[in-house]
Amino acid sequence: MKRAAVKKLQQLPATSEWTFEAIDAYHTEIARVAGEFGLDVYPPQIELITAEQMMDAYASVGMPVNYHHWSFGKHFLTTEKGYRRGQMGLAYEIVINSNPCIAYLMEENTLTMQALVIAHAAYGHNSFFKGNYLFRTWTNADAIVDYLIFARHYIAECEERHGEEEVELLLDSCHALMNLGVDRYKRPPKLSLAKEKLRQSERTEYLQSQVNELWRTLPLHDAKPGRALRPRFPPEPEENLLYFVEKHAPLLEPWQREIVRIVRKIAQYFFPQRQTQVMNEGWACFWHYTLLNRLYDEGLLADSFMLEFLQSHTNVVYQPAYNERWYNGINPYALGFMMWQDIRRICESPTEEDRAWFPDIAGSDWHETFDFAMKNFKDESFVAQYLSPKVIRDLRLFAILDDEHESKLKVSAIHDDRGYRRVREILSDQYNLGSREPNIQVWNVDLRGDRSLTLRHQEYRRRPLGGTIDEVMKHMARLWGFTVRLETQHEDGTVELVQETRIEKRRGHPDN
Residues 100-159 close enough to bind another protein by CB under 8 A: 100, 104, 107
Cα gap 145→191, rounded to integer Å:
10
Q: Which residues of 46-83 are buried (b: 16+ CB within 10 A; e: fewer)?
A: beeeeeeebbbbbbbebbbebbebeebeebbeebbeeb
DSSP letters for 355-372:
HHH-TTTTTS-HHHHHHH
Q: Return the number of the residue (331 or 369) whose C-beta is nearest another protein.
A: 331
Q: How many other C-beta atoms are found inside a 10 Å radius of the C-beta of residue 420?
A: 22
| Smallest gap from residue 220 Cβ to another protein (A) | 37
Q: Give yes or no for residue 209 binding another protein (CB under 8 A).
A: no
Peptide bond preceding 225 in cis form (omega within 30 of 0): no
Nearer to another protein, 97 or 319 (CB): 319
Only segment of 265-273, 288-296, 316-324, 477-485 that touches another protein (CB under 8 A): 316-324
Q: Give the nearer residue to another protein in terms of CB position, either 292 or 397.
A: 397
Measured CA to CA, the distance from residue 150 to residue 140 in angstroms comes to: 15
- How far apart are CB 399 and another protein at their closest, in Å? 5
Distance CA(356)–CA(223), nearest Å, equals: 70
Residue 114 or 369 with smaller CB distance to another protein: 114
Binding to another protein (CB under 8 A): which residues in 424-483? 426-427, 429-430, 436-438, 440, 459-469, 471-472, 475
Q: Are 38 and 367 in contact (CB under 8 A)?
A: yes
Closer residue to another protein in complex, CB, 82/363: 82
Peptide bond into 13 cis (omega under 30): no
- Which of residues 69 and 369 has its CB atom nearest to another protein in the complex? 69
Our CB check for another protein shows the closer of 211 and 486 to be: 486
The answer to whether residue 511 forms part of the interface with another protein (CB under 8 A) is no
| Closest of 61, 66, 71 to residue 94, by C-alpha | 61
Residues 319-378 contacting another protein, CB under 8 A: 319-324, 327-330
69: contact with another protein by CB under 8 A: yes
- CB closer to another protein, 434 vs 508: 434
Start-end of H helices in 188-331 = 193-216, 241-248, 254-275, 277-297, 303-316
Query: Which parts of 39-58 interact with another protein (CB under 8 A)?
Result: 43-50, 52-53, 55-56
Phi/psi for 143 (5° steps) reads -110, -10
Neighbours of 171 (CB within 10 A): 21
Of 13 and 363, CB closest to another protein: 13
User: Within a 10 A sphere around the Cβ of 33, how many other Cβ atoms?
Assistant: 24
Is 492 one of the binding residues for another protein (CB under 8 A)? no
Under the criterion CB under 8 A, does residue 94 sit at the interface with another protein? no
At its nearest, how many Å lie between another protein and the CB of residue 114?
Answer: 10
C-beta of 328: minimal distance to another protein in Å? 5
State which of positions 164-203 bind another protein (CB under 8 A). Answer: 164, 168, 172, 175-180
Q: How far is the CB of 209 from another protein (least distance, A)?
A: 31
Determine the 3-state secondary structure of 302 from DSSP. Answer: coil
Among the listed residues 111, 122, 90, 98, the one whose alpha carbon sits nearest the alpha carbon of residue 13: 111
Q: Which residues are 172's β-sheet partners?
A: none
Among 6, 16, 38, 81, binds another protein (CB under 8 A): 81
Alpha carbon distance 87, 110 (integer Å): 20
**Contact between residue 102 and residue 64 where contact means Cβ atoms under 8 Å apart:** yes
Judged by CB under 8 A, the residue of 7, 10, 20, 494 near another protein is 20
With contacts defined by CB under 8 A, name the span among 3-11, 69-77, 210-218, 446-454 that binds another protein: 69-77
Residues 375-414 interacting with another protein (rule: CB under 8 A): 395-404, 407-414
From candidates 39, 59, 116, 442, binder to another protein by CB under 8 A: 59
- Rank residues 301 and 476 by Cβ distance to another protein and give the closer one: 476
The single-letter code of the amino acid at 348 is E
